[in-house]
């Protein structure tokens, strides 16, 4: 066992060298936001989609664009609007008049990294067009199904404060996002740096330092990161505590939770904990890895009751309480 962990450690050390170079390139453009950049890399390494939530002007779009510029991948930014149609996203069949046949015209979803900007501004029909692509990594146009290239990642943004002209995302779609990241304001010192860097108006160039093959190779190493049986049980206990809090010494939470986290939460906690360990250049998962990413994986999966809303409790309060109560292995 120890021999295996030592081998995995060496593999992680070798394959994670690009992480610091990638962060250095991103830091040429983005000031601070280390937590957001870490989570974007976790999504990239775990093959999981990410929902970014924050007020306008916090560099959500710029960070995603900068990340894609550092990787030799195809990138598409799609501005979601109320008049967007599913065909604008996935494509459609075009009639070819010369020979009387229909040929597929693929939409912007056929790329590696999709930035779905202000995703909650598009109606349900468009959101449903994303579901197949996000879960099955394929798109159906007419009667033909097309596989999407790997890596394929949907990075979506939404504004939490402006609700006019927006549509709430269906729960089935929200659950397909591995992480929901809440973006906070920069510190005073960071804002001074942002002003100095961006006030000149010049465009800052970044270098492409990794390829899709590098990402796929890193993913194969992440999948081998060692996770102990006790930590697997710890992950399942956390998820089950959102469904059956009374069985985990949390009877006060039972009236607060309408629906607990789905099995996807257990799967994603498992995957993201491995990716977090990889970013820390470790070949094994610790409980701290689970705690570090737990809030981002669970906050959009725990549905609160009216009682919780009346008491002004948030899903984050509930999740923090669960992490504080469940015994750490």
Q: Tell me: the pLDDT tens digits for 236-274?
A: 999 999 998 888 888 888 888 888 888 999 999 999 999
pLDDT at 162: 61
Strands (E), the chain: 49-53, 75-79, 91-96, 101-106, 113-117, 138-141, 144-147, 153-158, 177-182, 257-259, 303-304
Which are the contacts of 7, defined by CB distance < 8 A and separation ≥ 6? 283
Q: Which two tokens stand for residue 42?
A: 């976790």
Within 13 Å, how many C-alpha atoms sit on residue 147's CB side? 3
Residue 236 CB burial class (10 angstroms; 0-12, 13-18, ≥19):
middle
CA 86 to chain centre: 22
Q: What is the pLDDT of residue 164?
A: 61
Q: Which two tokens stand for residue 257?
A: 């939770």
pLDDT value, residue 163: 62
pLDDT digit string, tens, across residues 156-190: 888 876 666 667 777 777 888 899 998 888 888 88
pLDDT at 121 over 60: yes
- SS3 string, the chain, reads CHHHHHHHHHHHHHHCHHHHHHHHHHHCCCCCCHHHHHHHHHHHHHCCEEEEECCCCCCHHHHHHHHHHCECCCEEEEECCCCCCHHHHHEEEEEECCCCEEEEEECCCCCCEEEEECHHHCCHHHHHHHHHHHHHCEEEECCEEEECCCCCEEEEEECCCCCCCCCCCCHHHHCCEEEEEECCCCCHHHHHHHHHHHCCCCCCCCCCCECHHHHHHHHHHHCCCECCHHHHHHHHHHHHHHHCHHHHCCHHHCCCEEECCCHHHHHHHHHHHHHHHHHCCCCECCHHHHHHHHHHHHCCCCEECHHHHHCCCCHHHHHHHHHHHCCCC
- Residue given tokens 């492409």 in the structure block: 208
Q: CA-to-CA distance for 278 and 284, rounded, in angstroms?
A: 8
Per-residue pLDDT at 2: 46
pTM here? Answer: 0.86
The architecture (CATH level 2) of 13-218 comes to 3-Layer(aba) Sandwich (3.40)
Q: What confidence tens digit (pLDDT) does each residue in 5-60 have?
A: 788 888 888 778 888 888 888 888 888 888 888 899 999 899 889 998 888 877 78
Mean predicted confidence (pLDDT) in 100-122: 85
What is the structure's pLDDT at 84?
86
Whether residue 94 contacts residue 68, with contact meaning beta carbons closer than 8 Å, is answered with: no
- Per-residue model confidence (pLDDT) at position 66: 87
- Tell whether the model's pLDDT for residue 212 goes beyond 80: yes
Q: Where are the domains of the chain?
A: 13-218, 225-325
Residues facing residue 156 across a β-bridge: 51, 116
Query: Which CATH number applies to 225-325?
Result: 1.10.8.80
Instruction: Tell me the per-residue pLDDT of 52-93, one tens digit each, with 9 for 90 and over.
Output: 888 887 778 888 888 888 888 888 888 888 888 888 888 887
The pLDDT tens digits of the residues spanning 268-309 come to: 999 999 999 999 888 889 999 999 999 999 988 888 888 888
Residues 141, 162: Cα–Cα separation, whole Å: 33
Give the percent of the chain with pLDDT over 90: 14
Q: CA–CA separation, 206 vs 218, rounded Å? A: 21
Tell me the HSE value of 253 on the side-chain side, using a 13 A CA sphere: 27
For residue 238, the model assigns a pLDDT of: 93
β-pairing verdict for 153-158 and 101-106: unpaired
User: CA torsion, points 167, 170, 171, 175, in degrees to nearest 10?
Assistant: -100
Instruction: Name 303's bridge partners.
Output: 259
């Amino acid at each position: 066992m120890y021999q295996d962990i030592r081998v995995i450690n060496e593999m992680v050390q070798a394959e994670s060298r690009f992480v610091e170079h990638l962060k250095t390139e991103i830091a040429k453009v983005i000031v601070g936001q280390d937590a957001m950049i870490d989570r974007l890399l976790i999504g990239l390494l775990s093959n999981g989609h990410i929902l970014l939530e924050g007020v306008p002007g916090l560099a959500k779009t710029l960070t995603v664009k900068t990340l894609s510029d550092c990787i030799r991948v195809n990138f598409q930014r799609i501005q979601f609007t109320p008049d967007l149609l599913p065909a604008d996203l996935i494509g459609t069949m075009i009639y070819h008049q010369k020979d009387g046949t229909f040929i597929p015209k693929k939409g912007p979803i056929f790329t590696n990294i999709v930035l779905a900007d202000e995703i909650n501004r598009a109606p349900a029909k468009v959101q449903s067009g994303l579901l197949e692509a996000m879960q099955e990594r394929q798109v159906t146009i007419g009667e033909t199904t097309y596989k999407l290239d790997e890596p394929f990642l949907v990075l979506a943004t939404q504004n939490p404060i402006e609700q006019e002209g927006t549509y709430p995302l269906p729960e089935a779609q929200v659950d397909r996002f591995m992480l929901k990241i809440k973006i906070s304001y920069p510190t005073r010192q960071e804002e001074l740096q942002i002003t100095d860097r961006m006030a000149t108006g010049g465009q800052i160039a970044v270098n492409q330092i990794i390829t899709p093959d590098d990402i796929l190779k890193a993913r194969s190493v992440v999948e081998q990161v060692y996770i102990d049986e006790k930590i697997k049980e710890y992950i399942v206990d956390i998820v089950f505590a959102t469904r059956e809090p009374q069985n985990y010494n949390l009877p006060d939470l039972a009236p607060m939770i309408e629906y607990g986290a789905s099995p996807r939460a257990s799967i994603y906690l498992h995957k993201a904990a491995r990716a977090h360990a990889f970013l820390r250049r470790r070949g094994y998962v610790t409980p701290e890895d689970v705690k570090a990413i737990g809030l981002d994986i669970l906050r959009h999966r725990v549905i609160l009751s009216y009682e919780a809303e009346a008491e002004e409790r948030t899903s984050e309060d509930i999740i923090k309480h669960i992490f504080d109560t469940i015994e750490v292995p």
